[in-house]
Amino acid sequence: MARSIQGFISSSTSKPTKKGRNRPGRPGNEELPGKLVEQSETRELTIEEALELAILLQKNAYSNLGVLLRATGKPSEAEAAYRTAIQLNPAHIDAYTNLGILLNGLKRTEEAAACFCKVITLRPKHREARKLLALAHCTLGEIGEAVNIFQEWLKDEPGDPIALHMLAACTGRDVPKRASNGFVERTFDSFASSFEAKLQRLSYRAPALVAAMLEDSRLERLKRLDVLDAGCGTGLCGPLLAPYARRLIGVDLSEGMLVHAKEKNVYDALVKVELTDYLRDNSEAFDLIVAADTLVYFGDLEGVLATAARALRPNGLLVFTLEHAVGGETDVDYHLESHGRYSHAAVYVERVLAFAGLQPEIAHAELRMESGAPVAGLVIRATKSVPARR
């Protein structure tokens, strides 16, 4: 029991508050729980210290309870828990952030923006709050406000990859052909530990859709194929691909994600590398390449699909998902959406695959929920043609 309580206390402890806000010689309020528990192992706490520990743990407990309630599909109860945490501690940054995310998902965007504003007031350079507040302004049609946030961010941190990418997504100017390595690494390293829980709340279906497409291809599960999980993330596709693979390789740019993929115990190798570079160096190395929710960080698909085609053996399969560009301009091949991922036109995808020597089959599906609405997607299976004999 003591060990589980210690684990809870550790998970409830945040960074210390700024110097000068606490009594001399005492740790910051958010640091106190762990400090006091450590001291209690060698001495008896005073009544004052014991009361302070109980109050601080209660404050964090309500915020953590809100996370659990949201994860189990109880948004009203989660909101109440977050608001209780804020009542107990009006400077509770995590509670404000989580409440804002919850409210945004409930389409209460203005209330969400107010939460993110409060976080930035408490911690002016809080990156995630800046990003979320800017996205809320975009949703409300207040593009100018969002641009101001990203420009201010870039003044504080020139060249920040997340601020640069999201500014391009917000304005439609200087849109990169793909998300930079820095954007991908920083984004996914920052929430690798909560990635799977977050996707579960979003009814994330990409791995299941990929598995269904493989099932439809009538590939036999005989562990005879060399398989690449391209952009493997935390390894959600790994167990679905393992029955086909005599050798299963996972590649990703995020070290944090690869740590969790390793825990799945299904990969023969995990490699931290940019995808196009890896494909270029592995000509005709794979019978099957899968990219679930990976190519949404590429706008221009020509390079990555050409290298994927070369990395496949004859009759090899490439199975991947994309977000579908629906509405808007009909002659646009791809679009960088305000959330930072790219959507693609189906006709563009077909054209690029054909040019790469791949024969496509494209299905339409809903990939996940985003801000309470389904995300339209494409699930593609492409076969590498066998060269004609002369």
The full DSSP string for 230-246 is: ET-TTTTTHHHHGGGEE
pLDDT of 378 > 90? The answer is yes
Q: Whole-model pTM?
A: 0.77
**Residue scoring higher pLDDT (71 or 342):** 342
Strand 373-384 and strand 312-324: the pairing is antiparallel
Return the minimum-mean-pLDDT range out of 16-20, 226-230, 282-286. 16-20
Q: What is the mean pLDDT of residues 360-370?
A: 93
Per the DSSP assignment, residues forming a β-bridge with 342 are 336
DSSP 259: H
Angstrom distance (rounded) from CA 373 to CA 356: 34
The string of pLDDT tens digits covering residues 42-66 is 556 565 656 555 566 566 788 888 8
Strand 334-336 and strand 225-230: the pairing is unpaired
pLDDT of 257 > 70? The answer is yes
C-alpha distances in Å from residue 159, one per residue of 69, 150, 183, 184, 271: 38, 11, 11, 15, 27
Q: Express as a percent the part of the chain with pLDDT over 90.
A: 56
pLDDT of 15 > 60? The answer is no
Angstrom distance (rounded) from CA 140 to CA 289: 39
The string of pLDDT tens digits covering residues 114-152 is 898 888 888 888 888 888 888 888 888 888 999 999 999
Q: What is the mean pLDDT of residues 181-197?
A: 88
Element (DSSP H or E) covering residue 383: strand 373-384
At residue 331, the pLDDT reads 78
Angstrom distance (rounded) from CA 222 to CA 219: 9
Name which of 260, 311, 321 is nearest 289 in CA terms: 311
**Residue scoring higher pLDDT (90 or 40):** 90
Average pLDDT, the chain: 84
At residue 206, the pLDDT reads 95
What phi-psi label fits residue 316: left (phi over 0), alpha (psi between -120 and 50 degrees) or beta? beta
**Residue scoring higher pLDDT (71 or 175):** 175
DSSP annotation string for 143-196: HHHHHHHHHHHHHHSTT-HHHHHHHHHHH-SS--SB--HHHHHHHHHHTGGGHH
pLDDT of 297 > 70? The answer is yes
At residue 27, the pLDDT reads 37
At residue 51, the pLDDT reads 58
Q: What is the mean pLDDT of residues 331-349?
A: 94
Angstrom distance (rounded) from CA 68 to CA 217: 38
Cα torsion 91, 94, 97, 101 to 10°: value is: -150
At residue 11, the pLDDT reads 32
DSSP 253: S
At residue 296, the pLDDT reads 98
- Answer for the pair 83, 115: CB distance below 8 angstroms, yes or no: no
